Amino acid sequence: MSSRGAVGFVANPASGKDIRRITARASVFDNQEKTAMVRRCLIGLRAMSDAPIRYLADANRLVESALAELGFDGEAVDVETNGKALDTTNAAVAMRGAGAVVTLGGDGTNRAFAKGWLDAPLIPLSTGTNNAFPVMREATTAGAAAGLLVSRRIPLEAVAERAKVIHVDIEGEPPDLALIDAVLTQDRFVGARALDDPGKLVAAMLTRADPAGVGMTSVGGFAHPLAERDDATLTLTFDRASPRRVVAALAPGRFESIGLGQTRTATLGEPMRLTGPGVLAFDGERERVLAPGQAATFRTLRDGPWVVDVRKVLTRAVACGGR
């Protein structure tokens, strides 16, 4: 079945459960609350639209159980699932053409989705840990916005902004991407994934540097703020012995003093070339191992997801008349 004209749903059952619950003071986001959010979102959607619903079926049945409880119809996208981030990427491929996709998760969830559908129209709702990309927003009206966006054929350009993306080329391996930050660390393992040790930071590229954010965006934000709307990217190198330091919120409930090397605002498309050994972390999570001498290049472009502004959609819909 085609996803054209549908509203997609991806709710990540794994978000909000990593080691930062104990290494920091990250919030606990259990799956019952995620299901409740999906439920509210579906109610908002159906209040405004009869658009078909397509969703990623996960082992927790987050969307499926919400649909069943409400008596709404929906169709799971036909992808193999194994409880990994790849499920989300594959679901994104299957959802291409949908009018809007609601994601429940953190930066990692949206990154996984963007890997499957780079310019998706996203309504990203936060349920993760270091959430710079998704927003904390009530799901009810987010669902309504998804419905209106699809049913009213509101031009995406009028209510959404195109996000920046860091494209990562890795010598001899498949490429990767990040939505907020790409980092080289001196770690030796992917391990429990969360970027934890500031003493191991080598270099980073950021699409946004927000002192009000948490994670690497906070580190950049306290050094040199950069907004998502700015057509630029921030590059940083780190030096643990440097007297030039920032105190930043590396994780929820955890500030660290971090030694800076060079900080530079670069133009979009300008490459940052790094070599291993080390581990590459994307959007706060260690993801890929870089062998000694193996090169990786970061490059920020504004070719990412269309991030829908829920308020703009609703305001525009009101201006054009009710349902």
* Lookup result for tokens 């459960």: 17
Instruction: For residue 22, give the DSSP letter.
Output: H
Q: Decide if residue 189 touches another protein (CB under 8 A).
A: yes
Q: Decide if residue 32 touches another protein (CB under 8 A).
A: yes
> Which residue in the set 1, 4, 30, 257 belongs to the binding site for another protein (CB under 8 A)?
30
**Exposure of 246 in the CB half-sphere (CA atoms within 13 A):** 25
Q: Decide if residue 190 touches another protein (CB under 8 A).
A: yes
CB-wise, 155 or 191, nearer to another protein? Answer: 191
**Exposure of 2 in the CB half-sphere (CA atoms within 13 A):** 4
> Which residue in the set 289, 297, 303, 312 belongs to the binding site for another protein (CB under 8 A)?
289
Beta strands at 272-275 and 7-11: parallel, antiparallel or unpaired: unpaired
CB-wise, 18 or 210, nearer to another protein? Answer: 18
Beta bridge partners of 232: 267
Q: Decide if residue 31 touches another protein (CB under 8 A).
A: yes
Main-chain dihedrals φ then ψ at residue 74, nearest 5 degrees: -165, 160
> Which residue in the set 47, 60, 135, 268 belongs to the binding site for another protein (CB under 8 A)?
60
Residue 37 near residue 139 (C-beta atoms within 8 A): yes
Q: Decide if residue 285 touches another protein (CB under 8 A).
A: no
Entry field: residues in the chain? 323
Closest distance of CB 314 from another protein, Å: 33
CB-wise, 110 or 129, nearer to another protein? Answer: 129
> Which residue in the set 197, 239, 270, 309 belongs to the binding site for another protein (CB under 8 A)?
197
DSSP for 140-175, written as a single string: HHHHHHHHHHHHTT--HHHHEEEPPEEEEEETTS--
> Which residue in the set 291, 295, 301, 303 belongs to the binding site for another protein (CB under 8 A)?
291
Q: Decide if residue 242 touches another protein (CB under 8 A).
A: no
Beta bridge partners of 275: 295
Binding site for another protein (CB under 8 A): 13-14, 17-19, 21-23, 28, 30-32, 59-60, 82-83, 188-193, 196-197, 289, 291
